[in-house]
Amino acid sequence: MMYILIFIFITTYLYFSERIRSSSFLAQLTIWLPAFLVFFIPMAIQDSVGTDYKAYKSMYYDNDFSLYLIKGEFFLIKVIELAKILGDPQFIFVIFSFLISLSFFYSLFLLRNLGFSPWLIFLLYFLVTGLYQTSFNVLRQSLVFSFLILLIYWVVKRENFKFFVSLFLLGFIHKTAYLYLVLFVFFKKIPSKKYIFYIFLGSMFFYALFNQKLLISYILNVPLISSLTGNYTYYIDTDFFDAGKISSILPKLYYTPLFFCFWFFYLRSKKVDVFFDFLIFIWSLTYFMFFQMLYIEIYFRLWNMFSFLCIFPIYYIFQVLYRKNIWLLGILVLYLFVPFFIKVFIFPSAEYKYNYIQYLF
């Protein structure tokens, strides 16, 4: 029920406040403050949501940071030290939740400036990606994920200083942030829509048929890359690199029919929008990464780094149907809401089983 209330309140608030705009992010955040708080507070006061909650709390008491010192991921250590000063391990989650919420709403602000509707972006983000729920569990990587739109924006706007400084700092949170270097590389040459579609189809077979274990092992052992990734090679010999369950992969195919509908509309359009076209290019390269979970279960974490982009093809369909067929638009909303309803009400598990710290109330 908590997730339904969050979804309804924030979507409604952003919808009715859409015409209240400011060119300053701080002023806009003030306008959005009720939505920001409803986004932030449940995440901050969580209790044992997901699998990593107890692990983070144990770090607070055990003071064993050797693994993160080796990796060079010093940010978590500083957060725990700050939580100790404040006197409660729950502040670990408060700090991470605040930063994730802030970067998400700044992303909304930038997308609004590019012509997107914040309420619709949030609606799709909440129903389709599952990233909000993931943020309750995988704190460090979730903070890295939350910068994806900002990094893409800075690449497209050629604000390279912001891009590389942010990437450098994100590396102190989680070394997988360096994977976002591909954004800078691929922006150099964006293919035509037709070739992006071919890439989308080809990537499906690439991720489904090619086991990347040996490739990843080789890459992580390259001296320069190994020094950057903080010795993540130890994952290869753990159960993280075991094959995933097919039951974890099949639900991610649910939206695939919508994506082929998107291609039907998108390929017929002559409009050029560098930002949107680049989003679709990166999405086409990364969407089917979840197939690699057939071989490597933890590959889900890499797929999640780009899963935010799944909302943009659906956003495009919304725009088309809004102009052409309001009834089909209603069916689309229902189609998106059904799996969310099932995950929240019928089969809630892991991050979808929400609990909060009782002593606050």
| Residue/partner pairs of 84-89 with CB below 8 Å, 24 or more apart | 84/60, 89/56, 89/57, 89/60, 89/61
The backbone region for 48, taken as left when phi is positive above 0, alpha when psi lies in -120 to 50, beta otherwise, is left
Residues 123-139 have pLDDT tens digits of 999 999 989 988 888 88
Return the domain boundaries, the chain: 1-146+337-361, 189-324
Which residues does 78 contact at the CB level (< 8 Å), separation at least 6? none
DSSP 46: B
Q: Token pair of 311, please?
A: 């909302």
pTM: 0.92
Phi, psi of 46 (to 5 degrees): -60, 155
Phi and psi torsions of 356, nearest 5°: -125, 160
Closest C-alpha among 333, 357, 270 to residue 53: 357
Tell me the C-alpha distance between 57 and 249, whole Å.
30
Q: Are 314 and 258 in contact (CB under 8 A)?
A: yes
Q: Which 8-state DSSP code applies to residue 52? A: S
Nearest to 194 by CA among 186, 202, 205, 206: 202
Residue 345: C-alpha distances to residues 14, 85, 349 (Å): 25, 39, 10
Residues 6+ apart with CB under 8 A from 242: 296, 297
In degrees, to the nearest 5, what angle opens at C-alpha 314 toward C-alphas 316 and 149?
85
Q: Tell me how far CA of residue 241 lies from CA of 174, 246, 257, in angstroms.
A: 18, 15, 30
Q: C-alpha angle with apex 12: 8 to 18, nearest 5 degrees? A: 150
Dmax (CA) of the chain: 59
What tokens does 206 get? 């690439």
Contact 187, 155 (CB under 8 A): yes
pLDDT digit string (tens) for 300-358? 888 999 999 999 999 999 999 887 788 888 899 999 999 888 888 777 777 777 777 76
Query: What does the pLDDT profile of the chain (361 residues) look like in tens digits?
Result: 788 899 999 999 999 999 999 999 999 999 999 999 999 999 999 887 777 788 888 888 887 777 778 778 889 889 999 999 998 889 999 999 999 999 999 999 999 999 999 999 999 999 999 899 888 888 889 999 999 999 999 999 999 999 999 999 999 998 889 999 999 999 988 999 999 999 999 999 999 888 877 777 766 666 656 555 555 666 666 666 777 788 778 888 999 999 999 999 999 988 889 999 999 999 999 999 999 988 888 888 889 999 999 999 999 999 998 877 888 888 999 999 998 888 887 777 777 777 777 665 4
* Other residues' Cβ atoms within 10 Å of the Cβ of residue 323: 9
